[in-house]
């Protein structure tokens, strides 16, 4: 209720363009994101933008996932929105991103999911940020698509953040990093969705998916807000600013 009145007194500025006021994401920015997805030629497996006929992303690292869906490339308006969400405390953007992700999942996923999972954050980084972006997205998607969200992953050790590592290091970094808790609900024959904010090399999603498959899951699908762009443009946020 307090936030409602604060929004009236101090209308939020769009996180995408930082120009228009009145909503966390303006209509122009949302239109730019959804239109780009419709116009792009995308890989049918990993959802990355195709430059050639073959997908370089899938060729480098075969996926344990059935499919990955993303809103778009990590650039322009989408880059700014995700940066504000991850590093500048704008938790409300989970509702915006999650709604669009739920729309894609409901319209394009081959199988109806039985549950949505998310990668766990390391405790020190969770304390620093105050929230797990993947968890917020998972609950928003689950609420919109009427799919239960299960918090069943843990970590076996302390590991450096994936964003600080190169491709080969990322794959090694998550090897045997994630564990399924012993008190979990059975994944036997379940169609699982794993939600995350950004997929860069797919290493985190792949490692989580493999754990699910080892536990008997029938299939694993990934859903993220963005995949990597060659070079982010129109940057208004940084991790330190």
- For residues 181 and 220, what is the distance between their CA atoms, to the nearest angstrom? 18
The answer to whether the beta carbons of residues 155 and 179 sit under 8 Å apart is yes
Instruction: Annotate 54-116 with DSSP letters as a single string.
Output: S-HHHHHS--SSSEEEEEEESSHHHHHHHHHHHHS--TTHHHHHHHHHHHHHHHH-SS--SEE
- Of the listed ranges 39-43, 143-147, 169-173, 230-234, the least confidently predicted one is 230-234
Let me know how long the chain is: 241
Percent of the chain with pLDDT over 70: 78
Q: Who wins on pLDDT, 180 or 194?
A: 194
Q: Is the pLDDT score of 44 beyond 80?
A: no
pLDDT interval class at 119 (50, 70, 90): very high
Q: What is the pLDDT of residue 221?
A: 95
- In the chain, the N- to C-terminal Cα span, in Å, equals 29
Q: What is the mean pLDDT of residues 120-137?
A: 91
Which residues have CB under 8 Å from 80's CB, separation 6+? 15, 16, 17, 18, 234, 235, 236, 237
- For residues 49 and 56, what is the distance between their CA atoms, to the nearest angstrom? 10
Q: What is the mean pLDDT of residues 198-203?
A: 83
Query: DSSP label at 26?
Result: -
Residue ranges of domains in the chain, CATH in brackets: 41-227 (3.40.50.2020)
Q: 3-state class of 142 per DSSP? A: helix
Phi, psi of 156 (to 5 degrees): -90, -15
Q: Is the pLDDT score of 203 beyond 90?
A: no
Q: How far is CA 194 from the centre of its chain?
A: 9
What tens digit of pLDDT does each residue of 49-90 get?
Answer: 776 666 777 777 678 888 899 998 888 899 999 999 999 889
pLDDT interval class at 184 (50, 70, 90): low
- For residues 85 and 77, what is the distance between their CA atoms, to the nearest angstrom? 12
Q: Who wins on pLDDT, 186 or 49?
A: 186
């Amino acid at each position: 209720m307090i936030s409602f009145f604060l929004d009236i007194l101090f209308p939020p500025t769009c996180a995408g363009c930082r120009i228009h006021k009145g909503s966390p994401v303006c209509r122009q920015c949302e239109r730019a994101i959804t239109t780009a997805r419709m116009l792009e030629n995308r890989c049918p497996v990993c959802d990355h933008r195709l430059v050639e006929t073959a997908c370089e992303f899938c060729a480098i690292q075969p996926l344990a996932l059935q499919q990955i869906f993303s809103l778009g490339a990590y650039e322009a308006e989408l880059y700014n929105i995700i940066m504000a969400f991850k590093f500048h405390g704008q938790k409300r953007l989970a509702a915006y991103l999650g709604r669009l992700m739920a729309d894609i999942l409901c319209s394009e996923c081959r199988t109806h999911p039985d549950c949505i999972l998310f990668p766990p954050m390391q405790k020190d980084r969770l304390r620093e940020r105050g929230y797990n972006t993947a968890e917020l997205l998972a609950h928003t998607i689950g609420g919109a698509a009427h799919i239960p969200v299960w918090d069943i992953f843990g970590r076996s050790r302390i590991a450096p953040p994936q964003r600080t590592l190169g491709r080969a290091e990322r794959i090694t970094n998550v090897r045997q990093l994630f564990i399924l808790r012993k008190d979990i609900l059975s994944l036997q024959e379940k169609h699982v969705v794993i939600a995350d904010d950004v997929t860069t090399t797919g290493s985190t999603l792949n490692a989580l998916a493999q754990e699910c498959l080892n536990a008997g899951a029938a299939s694993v699908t990934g859903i993220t807000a963005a995949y990597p762009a060659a070079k982010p443009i129109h940057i208004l946020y940084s991790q330190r600013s």
